[in-house]
Chain A
Amino acid sequence: MSDDRANNLDVLSRRVNWKSTQMRARVRRRYWADRLFRLSGFSAVVIAGLFLLFLLGNIIQNGISGFMQTSIEIDIAFDPTLLPDPTLPPDQFSAALARADMQRLLRQALMAEFPNVSGRRDIIQLTRMLSSGARAQLRQVILKDPSVIGTTKRVRILASDEVDQVMKGNIDVGVSEENRKLQDKELAWLGRFQQEDRVSLSFHSRFITGGDSREPELVGVRGAITGSALTLLVTLLTAFPVGLAAAIYLEEFAPRNRFTDIIEVNINNLAAVPSIVFGLLGLAFFLGFMGMARSAPLVGGLTLALLTLPTIIISARAAIAAVPGSIRDAARGLGASPMQVAFHHVVPLAMPGIMTGTIIGMARALGESAPLLMIGMVAFIVDVPGGVNDPATVLPVQIYLWADSPERAFIEKTSAAIMVLLFFLISMNGLAIWLRQRFERKW
């Protein structure tokens, strides 16, 4: 053994004194560093969680009152001189009713409530406490029961959005008069209704069943929900079969060559293309080249189909690849053709996974708005769309439009619409998770 080597080995035979103060201090420092590191990691998770909590809490806090609306009970004298004769045949009666001056009926009722309010401007202000939907409301009351004509009846009428916001405490009435929309006079009138216990805040079903409107107290999400449903239907009917077919081909039939590689890389890249670029494609191809109708769920659905196709292909491929080869071998051993192996054995077994991926893709499409802005699904549309070629908007775009509106009351409406959207998203994802847990097999 050479000297050199002996020296060398000597380095290693020196025992480390782990109990020395230096060593102990060093280990303590290292543990501190570890704890700090761990704490940073934990904080990161907590911060992410708190962000989510803050986001959702904020939306719910703002939005829950959006489902409620203030009404004021007002004694309406259904003056027969202003209203059509109830003995008319129904179609003539309703046509005449549509022409009747409901505004005057309301004005008279309010002037009767406040006999000492006079002057044109004050009276206009007084009627402005009620929603502009009040006329339609009165019409409904009369249509439902024409016998009210000639009587006086206490009717619950929607208040204007400003009154509603004051009632919900969203507007600070403590600030000076010029800084708020509702003036002292109006507050005094409102105060009187309140004293008589005639102002009430209740669930506002119109928000669920109605279409869009310029007035926050009259808006509803049904038009947008229907638009979203029609759009998603188109997306599902196009993206699912094509995506499934592509996945089957790539997993079961495609030869392993350069071209297949290109397709795969291409699909992965498509999945990461910004959604707005798909909007540009939709605009140039479906609207520009094919000349299809703007703002229609058909075009929106096709555009979103292009967007979700890569997601569906990728998840369907994963589900198909998870089916073990032994099942294919068994089927082939019984004389099944490759096509029969795929369609009779592999695809049915992979179906739960494919469905899960599809639902998640659809949920993503449901939340998508940017590409739909490109193809004009951003118009103000009051009517609920009846078909895939009617102009329509979708829930996220509706949210975008409302978020842009200046009225204070639109904040709660927007938040409420977000709650509706999140409800659908959570339901869809819940369904996907349930499917996965219920049917997932471990091979």
Chain B
Amino acid sequence: MTNATIVVVLALMALIAFAVVRQRSVALVAGATDQLHSLPRYHGYYAALMVALPGLVVLVLWLISGKYIVENLILSGLPSALVDANAERLDLLVNRIRLIAENGVGLETDDAILDAAARFNSLYGRGIAATLVLTMAAAGAGYLYAVGKVAPLFRARTRFEKILHSMLALSSFLAIGITIGIIGSLIFESLRFFQQVPLEEFIFGLKWSPQTALRVDQIAAEGSFGAVPLFAGTFLISLIAMVVAGPIGLFAAIYLTQYASPRTRNFAKPILEILAGVPTVVYGFFAALTVAPLFRDLGMTLGLDIASESALVAGVVMGIMIIPFVSSLSDDALMAVPDAMKEGSLALGATPAETVMKVLLPSALPGIASAFLLAASRAVGETMIVVMAAGMRPNLTANPLEAVTTVTVQIVALLTGDQEFNSTKTLSAFALGLALFVTTLMLNIFALRLVRRYRQVYE
């Protein structure tokens, strides 16, 4: 029996409630359904909801708290010797037990742990059974309530629609829930990180080497967590990306909105969109496999030494990726300038180029600035290209030919592979994530503000 069983049982109960209550409402007026306030099916819907919702509440409570309850029961039942031996990292011990419980014995030899794992499984099984019973009880109560309500003048439709209305509202509040979840989890884990590493070191420290020592007696056992080199690398690569994407994207938008025939436009816009639709992992592969050697060879003939994981390569390829963002958002900004502006300028004898430079661009400037900011925010948060084509070693430099690392690269490096969840190293990834989130959020908010203000000018 698994959690899925409970879901199936609950769904069946709701279905039965629907059928029975629907039938009952018809029977109540002896088939003369026009005497009912609501159509029979609304009586059915209402009953089904009354059955499903209480059951779901129980189920969700179990899903959230079940494992914790079982874990605590297991911990209290463990031999005290084992608990004392692992006093500092009880969470690791619990993880070990759970891994065995879920994936089988493996290489574990400690009988106490094997025993605990077996108890975990049996307790968890009992927990599921108990939840099933509780769910059915809650659903049954809901059913009795709904059946008791059926009456010719019972406003089943109104009631049903009210519940539906709140469910719709709840869905839209979920968007806020996600944001709260993001901020909450990032801040929560970051706070734990900042208990171990001072905030000043993270913000102003020039050295990033999260490798905690293997042996206690090693020097620098704590590692250092100065994020400056990571942000410097991120901004260097983003800057290169914007240098590539900015002019190309803007000029493409100008050409497509001002010069191109509708046919060219219909042909070129999808091509730019495809550029945006190519997964970033593909760009990363392309950068590492093709562009990096190309630039290396090119640098060689020019007498430049370009690192094979240079900021330049990652930046240029990222620039290609964000061309469509710049161009389509600039396109929108240019198209939003009223035609009357363009006509007014042309009618005075301005050339199209003069019209663009002196009238359209100044008018569309907030929109275009916002396009650049949004694209920059993309670049700052982009992960796969830099993971595959930029370096791993923190390097505080402004030289685009050297290898640098970025915030996102470090997050991936810190969190992939087997990690203990609570080490300073893993927690530092959340601190980086928080910094990244705040940076991109500020860029986005600023960009959206600009657009909003700019729209007001013409509305």
Q: Quick one: closest B residue to A404, CB to CB?
A: B388
Answer whether residue A95 sits at the interface, using C-beta atoms and an 8 A cutoff: no
Interface size on A, residues (CB 8 A): 90
Among A52-60, A151-159, A205-213, which stretch is in contact with chain B?
Answer: A52-60
Q: Does the CB pair B64–A290 fall under 8 Å?
A: yes
For residue A124, give the distance in angstroms from its CB to the closest CB of chain B: 31
Q: Does the CB pair A270–B323 fall under 8 Å?
A: no
Answer whether residue B416 sits at the interface, using C-beta atoms and an 8 A cutoff: yes
Q: Does the CB pair A52–B248 fall under 8 Å?
A: no
Q: Which residue of B173, B182, B408 is within 8 Å of A263 (Cβ)?
A: B173
Q: Does the CB pair B282–A38 fall under 8 Å?
A: no
Q: Does the CB pair A55–B286 fall under 8 Å?
A: yes
For residue B69, give the distance in angstroms from its CB to the closest CB of chain A: 11
Mark each residue of chain A from 336 to 362: 1 if its CB lies under 8 Å from any CB of chain B, else 0: 011100000000000000000000000
Mark each residue of chain B from 151 to 191: 1 if its CB lies under 8 Å from any CB of chain A, else 0: 00000011001001101110111111011011001101100
Residues in A with CB closer than 8 Å to B286 are 55, 58-59
Q: Quick one: closest A residue to B255, CB to CB?
A: A41
Query: Known contacts A55-B278, A253-B169, A280-B433: does B352 contact A38 (CB below 8 Å)?
Result: yes
Answer whether residue B365 sits at the interface, using C-beta atoms and an 8 A cutoff: no
Q: Does the CB pair A245–B411 fall under 8 Å?
A: no
Mark each residue of chain A from 370 to 381: 1 if its CB lies under 8 Å from any CB of chain B, else 0: 100110101000
Answer whether residue A75 sits at the interface, using C-beta atoms and an 8 A cutoff: no
Answer whether residue B412 sits at the interface, using C-beta atoms and an 8 A cutoff: yes
Mark each residue of chain A from 186 to 214: 1 if its CB lies under 8 Å from any CB of chain B, else 0: 00000000000000000000000000000
What separation, in Å, do the CA atoms of A310 and B381 have in the docked complex?
A: 17
Q: Which residue of A246, A277, A411 is within 8 Å of B171 (Cβ)?
A: A246
Q: Does the CB pair A274–B384 fall under 8 Å?
A: no
Question: Which residues from 217 to 269 on chain B have a C-beta closer than 8 Å to any C-beta of chain A?
Answer: 247-252, 254-256, 258-260, 268
Residues in A with CB closer than 8 Å to B20 are none
Residues in A with CB closer than 8 Å to B268 are 45, 49
Answer whether residue A266 sits at the interface, using C-beta atoms and an 8 A cutoff: yes
For residue A283, give the distance in angstroms from its CB to the closest CB of chain B: 7
Query: Known contacts A246-B168, A249-B172, A277-B433: does B280 contact A369 (CB below 8 Å)?
Result: yes
Among B197-205, B208-216, B307-315, B435-443, which stretch is in contact with chain A?
Answer: B435-443
Answer whether residue A434 sits at the interface, using C-beta atoms and an 8 A cutoff: no
Residues in A with CB closer than 8 Å to B356 are 37
Answer whether residue B25 sits at the interface, using C-beta atoms and an 8 A cutoff: no
Where chain B touches its partner, the secondary structure class is helix
Q: Does the CB pair B433–A270 fall under 8 Å?
A: no
Among A98-106, A115-123, A142-150, A421-429, which stretch is in contact with chain B?
Answer: A421-429
Q: Which residue of B172, B260, B327, B383 is within 8 Å of A276 (Cβ)?
A: B383
Q: Does the CB pair B351–A30 fall under 8 Å?
A: yes
Residues in B with CB closer than 8 Å to A269 are 179, 441, 444-445, 448
Q: Which residue of A51, A283, A429 is within 8 Å of B320 (Cβ)?
A: A51
Q: Does the CB pair A245–B323 fall under 8 Å?
A: no
Q: Does the CB pair B174–A309 fall under 8 Å?
A: yes
What separation, in Å, do the CA atoms of A401 and B293 have in the docked complex?
A: 20
Answer whether residue A237 sits at the interface, using C-beta atoms and an 8 A cutoff: no
Q: Quick one: closest B residue to A418, CB to CB?
A: B282
What separation, in Å, do the CA atoms of A400 and B282 have in the docked complex?
A: 8
What separation, in Å, do the CA atoms of A249 and B175 have in the docked complex?
A: 12
What separation, in Å, do the CA atoms of A367 and B448 have in the docked complex?
A: 26
Interface size on B, residues (CB 8 A): 94
For residue B325, give the distance in angstroms from its CB to the closest CB of chain A: 10
| Total cross-chain contacts (CB, 8 A) | 265
Residues in A with CB closer than 8 Å to B173 are 263
Answer whether residue A439 sits at the interface, using C-beta atoms and an 8 A cutoff: no
Residues in A with CB closer than 8 Å to B415 are 280, 283, 373-374
User: Which residue of B258, B272, B286 has the most chain A CB atoms within 10 A of its CB atom?
Assistant: B286
Residues in A with CB closer than 8 Å to B247 are 44
Residues in B with CB closer than 8 Å to A45 are 251-252, 255-256, 260, 268, 272
Residues in B with CB closer than 8 Å to A249 are 165, 168-169, 171-172
Answer whether residue B289 sits at the interface, using C-beta atoms and an 8 A cutoff: yes
Residues in A with CB closer than 8 Å to B186 are 277, 280-281, 284
Q: Quick one: closest B residue to A374, CB to CB?
A: B415
Answer whether residue A48 sits at the interface, using C-beta atoms and an 8 A cutoff: yes
What separation, in Å, do the CA atoms of A378 and B284 have in the docked complex?
A: 16
Q: Does the CB pair A270–B175 fall under 8 Å?
A: yes
Query: Known contacts A242-B171, A253-B169: does B444 contact A272 (CB below 8 Å)?
Result: yes
What separation, in Å, do the CA atoms of A31 and B354 have in the docked complex?
A: 10
Answer whether residue A273 sits at the interface, using C-beta atoms and an 8 A cutoff: yes
Q: Does the CB pair A34–B352 fall under 8 Å?
A: yes
Q: Which residue of B175, B176, B182 is within 8 Å of A281 (Cβ)?
A: B182
Q: Quick one: closest B residue to A433, CB to CB?
A: B270
User: Which residue of B175, B374, B448 has the most chain A CB atoms within 10 A of its CB atom?
Assistant: B175
Query: Known contacts A270-B178, A276-B412, A421-B279: does B430 contact A245 (CB below 8 Å)?
Result: no
Q: Does the CB pair A48–B271 fall under 8 Å?
A: yes
For residue A117, give the distance in angstroms from its CB to the closest CB of chain B: 37
Q: Which residue of B254, B277, B381, B411 is within 8 Å of A41 (Cβ)?
A: B254
Question: Which residues from 318 to 347 on chain B have a C-beta closer than 8 Å to any C-beta of chain A?
Answer: 320, 323-324, 327
Q: Which residue of A52, A266, A288 is within 8 Å of B275 (Cβ)?
A: A52
Q: Does the CB pair A363–B277 fall under 8 Å?
A: yes
Q: Quick one: closest B residue to A250, CB to CB?
A: B172
Q: Does the CB pair B285–A280 fall under 8 Å?
A: no
Q: A40-B251, A273-B437 are in contact. List 18 more A-B contacts (CB 8 A).
A: A34-B353, A45-B268, A55-B282, A246-B171, A246-B175, A253-B165, A270-B178, A274-B408, A276-B411, A277-B182, A277-B186, A280-B411, A288-B185, A293-B102, A339-B161, A370-B383, A373-B412, A429-B277
A-B contact pairs, 7 of them (CB 8 A): A44-B249, A44-B255, A249-B171, A280-B430, A288-B421, A373-B383, A374-B415
Residues on B lying within 8 angstroms of A by beta carbon are 63-64, 67-68, 98, 102, 157-158, 161, 164-165, 167-169, 171-176, 178-179, 181-182, 185-186, 188-189, 247-252, 254-256, 258-260, 268, 271-272, 274-275, 277-286, 288-290, 320, 323-324, 327, 351-354, 356-357, 374, 377-378, 380-384, 387-388, 408, 411-412, 415-416, 421, 429-430, 433, 436-437, 440-441, 444-445, 448
